[in-house]
């Protein structure tokens, strides 16, 4: 049974992770708007729409057989999209005409129609990426499981061999575990172009696991 401090740590991790997803979504929208102004003005909201299609392709190709707590990634994204837009993920959700009512009541707002569409599409992109992140948590768990027990074995060898201990390295490595995870997650969620999740999430899992390995390996016998 989890102690009160452990429950607080788990709750803090969940709250920070959710806040990071929201913050990355807002950052992604701002980056997309800047790109529409300076880098791809001729594409308008089509750039964000293409990102949705590409990200959905990664989800369908690489996570088709995945399941977490009885949910498949496709079911999860359908549920989330329906909760946000009122319809499950599909062509209807991506149809610009569906959101025309947002700008139809004012000519001054109609000027920003492409920006509003881009914001909606980027939000859907971040939802898809958040689902992919959720389904890659077992990857992080596997890497950290191996890192923990390998580091524990090396710690025991060091302890019984009488080698010199270093509490400083333990504390520095311990502080880097979560930042290595969250930096990878934030970068993946907010990056303004499509990229296969493995190119970001695997290095993030490796770095966080190496940090855990070092933290366990140099854990002192007496604190």
Residue 91 burial by Cβ neighbours in a 10 Å radius (0-12, 13-18, 19+): exposed
- The whole domain housing 185 covers 137-223
List the beta bridge partners of residue 68. Answer: 71
What is the value of pTM for the model shown? 0.79
pLDDT in tens, 27-79: 999 999 999 888 888 888 888 888 888 887 777 777 666 666 667 777 777 77
**How confident is residue 223, by pLDDT bands cut at 50, 70 and 90?**
very low
Say which DSSP state 195 is in.
-
Choose the final residue of a domain: 135, 168, 186: 135
- Same domain, residue pair 130 and 141: no
Residue 198: per-residue pLDDT: 87
The number of folded domains in the chain is 2
Is 222 in contact with 181 (CB distance < 8 Å)?
no
- Same domain, residue pair 83 and 123: yes
Choose the final residue of a domain: 85, 110, 135: 135
Choose the final residue of a domain: 79, 100, 135: 135
- Same domain, residue pair 98 and 167: no
- Same domain, residue pair 150 and 123: no
Q: Please indicate, yes or no, if residue 10 is contained in any of the structural domains.
A: no
- Same domain, residue pair 149 and 181: yes
Nearest one of 210, 172, 188 to 25, comparing CA atoms:
188
- Same domain, residue pair 102 and 127: yes
**CB atoms inside a 10 Å sphere around CB 9:** 12
Q: Please indicate, yes or no, if residue 1 is contained in any of the structural domains.
A: no
Kindly give, in sequence order, each residue whose CB lies less than 8 Å from that of residue 80, ignoring residues fewer than 6 positions away: 127, 131
- Same domain, residue pair 220 and 183: yes
Q: Please indicate, yes or no, if residue 5 is contained in any of the structural domains.
A: no
- Same domain, residue pair 112 and 29: yes
Residue whose tokens read 């992770």: 17
Q: Please indicate, yes or no, if residue 209 is contained in any of the structural domains.
A: yes
Residue whose tokens read 């390998």: 150
**How confident is residue 206, by pLDDT bands cut at 50, 70 and 90?**
very high
Task: At 84, give phi and psi (nearest 5°).
Answer: -85, -45
Residue 45: per-residue pLDDT: 81
The two three-digit tokens of residue 134, written as one number: 């959720």
Q: Please indicate, yes or no, if residue 7 is contained in any of the structural domains.
A: no
Q: Please indicate, yes or no, if residue 168 is contained in any of the structural domains.
A: yes
- Same domain, residue pair 113 and 164: no
- Same domain, residue pair 124 and 171: no
- Same domain, residue pair 117 and 169: no
Q: Please, what is the average pLDDT of the chain? A: 78
């Amino acid at each position: 049974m989890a102690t009160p401090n452990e429950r607080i740590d788990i709750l803090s991790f969940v709250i920070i992770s959710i806040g990071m997803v929201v913050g990355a979504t807002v950052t992604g929208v701002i980056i997309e708007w800047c790109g529409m102004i300076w880098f791809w003005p001729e594409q308008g909201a089509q750039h964000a729409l293409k990102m949705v299609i590409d990200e959905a392709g990664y989800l369908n190709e690489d996570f088709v057989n995945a399941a977490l707590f009885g949910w498949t990634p496709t079911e999860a994204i359908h549920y989330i999209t329906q909760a946000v837009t009122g319809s499950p993920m599909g062509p209807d959700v991506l149809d610009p005409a569906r959101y025309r009512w947002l700008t139809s009541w004012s000519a001054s707002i109609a000027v920003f129609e492409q920006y509003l569409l881009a914001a909606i599409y980027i939000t859907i992109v971040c939802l898809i990426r958040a689902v992919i992140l959720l389904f890659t948590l077992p990857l992080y768990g596997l890497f950290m499981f191996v890192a923990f027990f390998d580091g524990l074995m090396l710690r025991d060898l060091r302890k019984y061999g009488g080698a010199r201990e270093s509490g400083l390295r333990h504390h520095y490595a311990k502080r880097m575990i979560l930042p290595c995870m969250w930096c990878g997650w934030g970068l993946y969620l907010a990056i303004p172009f499509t990229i296969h999740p493995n190119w970001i999430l695997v290095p993030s899992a490796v770095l966080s696991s190496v940090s855990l390995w070092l933290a366990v390996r140099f854990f002192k016998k007496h604190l």
